[in-house]
Structure formats: C-alpha cells, structure tokens
Structure 1
Amino acid sequence: MAKCFLWNLLLWEVLFPIAVIGAQVLSKVGDSVLLVAEHPPGFQVREVIWRSLWPSEELLAMYFRSSLETLYHSRFLGRAQLHSNLSLELGPLQSTDSGNFSVLMVDTGGRTWTQTLQLKVYDAVPRPTVQVFIAVAGDDQPLKTCQVFLSCWAPNISDITYSWRREGTVGFGVESHSLFTDGQVLSVSLGLGDKDVAYSCIVSNPVSWDLATVTPWESCHHEAAPGNATYKDVLLVVVPISLLLFLVGLFFAWHCGLCSGKKKMDACTDQVAAETENSLVNVS
C-alpha cells in the first residue's frame, strides 16, 4: 500500500507539475535546521513526501493518512523529524549534509505542489591568529613612528572572509588601500599617540564569526629606559674583552711553540704565564 501511494505521488508530480523554488537555507555543523513546507492559500494537504535530491536521491519522511513516518534508511536516519505542520527538522547537522531537498504535497482535490530547498551547511569559524611584523625603518620615515603589518590567519574553511576593526572607533576604522591579500594583511602606521590602540581581525562565514585583538605598538622597537643597558652598550663592553682574551691566547701559543723538550716546555710555560699575568695587570 505504501509503495502504491509513493508511486502515485511521483506520477502526480510528473503529470501535474506545479513547483516553486524555495530560498537557500543556511546552517552550521552541530546545529539543527527546519525545512519549512509552504503551500498556497486554500491548499488542504492530504499527503506529503520529503526527499533528498542531491547528492543522492533518498526518501526522508512521509505523511499519509494522518500518520508521520521518518524511519526510512537514509543518511538522516535518526536525525530527521517530521513535525505536525509538515516541516522537516534535520540535526545535528554534518558538513556532508549540504544538498537539495524537495517536498511534494497533494491536496484533497488531487492537486500537487512541489517545493525545492537548498541546504548549505558550514563549519563554525574558529578564533583566528594575528601576527605583528615590524617594517624596517627607512630614511624618510618620521622619528618615533612604527610601521607594522598585521597578518590574520584562520584554518582553511569554505566561504571565509577577513575584515579589520580599529577598537574605540565607529565602524571598521580602516581604509581599503591598507588591506592586502584579500583582507588578511593590514598595514598600519603608528605614532606615540597610538600606544594603546588595538586592532581586531574578524573572521566570518555566512553563519558564524570570531575575532582576535592585538595592540601592535607593544611589538615596536623602543628606546631603552634611562639606567638600562641597551644592545649597543653590551657590544661596547663584550667585544673589547673578547678581543683581548683572543690576543692573549695567541701570545701564549706562540711562546709555547718556541720551546722544545719537556724541561724547556715547563720553563717556557712558567715564563709565559708570568708575562701573561703582567700583561693583564698592565691592561687593568
């Protein structure tokens, strides 16, 4: 009886095709989605059949003689629920659930109505990673400024977009000519008044979004505070001492090479050690 009913519905769909293409339905992995069955005013529904059309054609649910049936062995077995208003709920969704679905309805007068819906399932966007790169200062760059490049990255997810926001301003607060690589890289010139300015990278797709915020001035090179040794100061101390020790080692090796025999070597060693000690005292 059920097979006969199914074949009748399919035959009515071919002989009396009244169809409407529904809007695209968007959702994300792990959520549930409701595919709403709509019909014209005055259409008194008697039978309904829900099918998956792509990537494979499968029977998902059926309403026949006031009975709701969803126990078909499709890929949505255990994840499909047909509600009393004849809308079909699917979930929890998987990334492979995207596809086209159709609902075929027959009214009490024998008229058919077919609606097609396209379901698009996206992965949830993860939090991005932002890196700060400092540009090398040129001769024409003003003093006490810092040119930085902010690079934003998120795992390869479909239909992902990047945008930037300067925190504390209305709107996004960045100019389009400062963006590179489809918005993943932002070029920013900072001054002393921008020490506390933060920038946020916003990663989004049609169903989710996330962001990461950085304060780029913290990565800029600053002058050392008074009383603190700078890198140049360290070089001025370390290099002369290292050179002195190197010369002393060469002097010691040269004197040892002039000595021959074990006794002469011992005497030479004592002599070189004494001369080395005197040399260090004179240097001090």
Structure 2
Amino acid sequence: MAVRSAWTLFLWEALFPVVVTSVQVQGQVGGSALLMAERPAGFQVREAIWRCLWPSEELLATFFRDSLETLYHSRFLGRAQLHSNLSLELRPLQSGDSGNFSVLLVDKEGRAWTQTLQLKVYDVVPRPVVQVFIATSGDAQPPKTCQVFLSCWAPNISDITYSWRREGTLDLGVEPSGLFVDRQLLRVSLGPGDKGVAYSCIVSNPVSWDLATITPWESCHREAAQGRASYKDALLVAVPVLLLLLLAGISAWRCGPCSGKKKDVCADQVAPETENPLVGLP
C-alpha cells in the first residue's frame, strides 16, 4: 500500500502543476534537524512523500490515508521520524547527512505542493589552541615593551571563522591592521600596564562556537626570566673553567725556574744532602 501511494504521488508530480519553495536547514553532528513541511493556508493534505535527493534519490517517509510510514530502507533508516504535522526529523545527525531533501504534498482537491530543503550538517567546533610567540626586540624597541604574536588554530575542522577580542575593556574588538592569515594570527604590543590584559580567540561556525583565552604578558615575563636563567647557567660553567686555566698557568710558572742553568743550581743544592752520610768513612 505504501509503495502504491508513492507511485501515486510521483504521478501527481509529473502530471499536475507544482508550486515549489526552497529553504535551508542547519544542524550539527550528533544533534537533530527538523525538516518542516510548510503548506499554504487551507491546504488539506491527503498524501505526502519525503525523499532524499542527494547523493542518491531515496524514499524516506510517506503519509497516505492518515497513515505515517518511515520504514523504508535508506541511509536514514532508524534515524528518521515522520511527525503528525508531516515534518521529518533526522537524528542523530552524521557528517555525511548534508544534502537536498524534498516533500511532495497533494491536497484533497488534487493540487500539488513541493518543497525542497537543503540540509547542511556542521561539525561541532572544538576548543581552539592558542600559542604565544615573542618577537625579538632590537635597540630601537622602546624599553619595557613586548611585541607578541598570538596564533589560533582549531584542529580537524572546516567551515569555521576566527575572531579575537580584548577582554576587560569596553571595546572588545581588535584592530583589523593587527590581524593576519584569515584572522588566525594577531599582533599586539604590550607594556607594563597590560599585565592583566587577556585576549580571547573565538572559533565558530553557523551552529557552534568555542574560545580560548590567554594573558600574553605572562609569556613575556617568563621569556625574560628564562633569559636571566640562561645567563646564570653560563656563569656557572665559565667560572670553574677559568679557575682551572688559572691554576694550570700558575703551575707552569712555578716549574719555569727549574729549566736551563737554574736546574743545575737546584741539583747542586740537593747533592750535598745526599753525600753527607758518606763523610768520615775510612
């Protein structure tokens, strides 16, 4: 009976004038999407059929003689539910569910109404990763300032946009002149008065968003502390080496007088001491 109803609706669509409307529906992976079957005022539905048009045409659900049917074998089997108002709900959504759908309605007077819906399923936006890069300061750099590059990246995601905001101020936005690489890279100049200033990277798509917040001045301070530590480590290595070299130089200088002619004098002074025990022998 359901198959006969479907063929009947196909004939209605082929033989009689059809009014077509089109809407867009958005959803996220793991969520649900409600495809609304809109109709003109006074349009009393007698039969209805839902189809998936892409990537292949599949029959999803039908309504015939007050009977709802969704047991058709399709990729949405077990995930499609036809409601009493003839709207089709899909859940849970998968990343490959994006595509075009259509519903054909026929009223009791034989008029046909077709609506196409474009479903776009987006991935859930993950929390972005923010990294801080400290620019090397030169002699021309004003004192006590820190040039910082903030890099933002959301892994394994598409169809997303990046934006930045400066926390704790009335103007939460940032100047476009400091943004690079599709707004994924932000350049800021920090001073001692910016110790508590935080920046947030916001990653979003049409159905979800997430953010990560960081205080860049902490990285500037840590970079400076690491620089001082490296200087102390270098002194700890260099001072013992210098001491060893100094001791080696002193030893070489003390052995110097025992070379050449002065070596004989040293030998003469030692010889009498070795011959004294032989004095007085017969």
Counterpart Cα distance in 2 of 1:219 and 1:144: 14
Change (3 A) 1:12 1:250: farther
Deviation string 1:223-275 (CA, Å, 9 cap, x unpaired) is 989xxx754355345313223335767999xxxxxxxxxxxxxxxxxxxxxxx
Deviation string 1:175-222 (CA, Å, 9 cap, x unpaired) is 001001101110000011000000000000110000000000001147
Shift of 1:164: 0.4
TM-score, normalised relative to structure 2:
0.82
Counterpart Cα distance in 2 of 1:230 and 1:198: 26
Change (3 A) 1:224 1:82: closer
The RMSD of aligned alpha carbons is: 2.3
Counterpart Cα distance in 1 of 2:90 and 2:162: 30
SS at match of 1:220: helix
Contact 2:146-2:190 within 8 A present in 1 as well: yes
TM-score, normalised relative to structure 1:
0.82
In structure 1, the residue matched to 2:32 is 32
In structure 1, the residue matched to 2:243 is 244
Counterpart Cα distance in 2 of 1:146 and 1:191: 6
Change (3 A) 1:234 1:77: closer
Q: Mapping of 1:45-56 within 5 angstroms?
A: 45-56=45-56
Deviation string 1:153-181 (CA, Å, 9 cap, x unpaired) is 11131211110010012353310010011
In structure 1, the residue matched to 2:117 is 117
Change (3 A) 1:14 1:141: same
Q: Partner amino acid for 2:148?
A: V
Unpaired segments of 5 or more residues in structure 1? 253-284
Contact 1:17-1:114 within 8 A present in 2 as well: no
Aligned residue pair count:
250
Counterpart Cα distance in 1 of 2:224 and 2:216: 18
Q: Partner amino acid for 1:107?
A: D
Percent identity of equivalent pairs: 72
SS at match of 1:31: coil
Q: Mapping of 1:29-108 within 5 angstroms?
A: 29-108=29-108
Deviation string 1:1-36 (CA, Å, 9 cap, x unpaired) is 433322221121122242323221001001111100
Structure showing greater Rg: 2
Unpaired segments of 5 or more residues in structure 2? 252-282
In structure 1, the residue matched to 2:194 is 194
Q: Partner amino acid for 1:168?
A: G
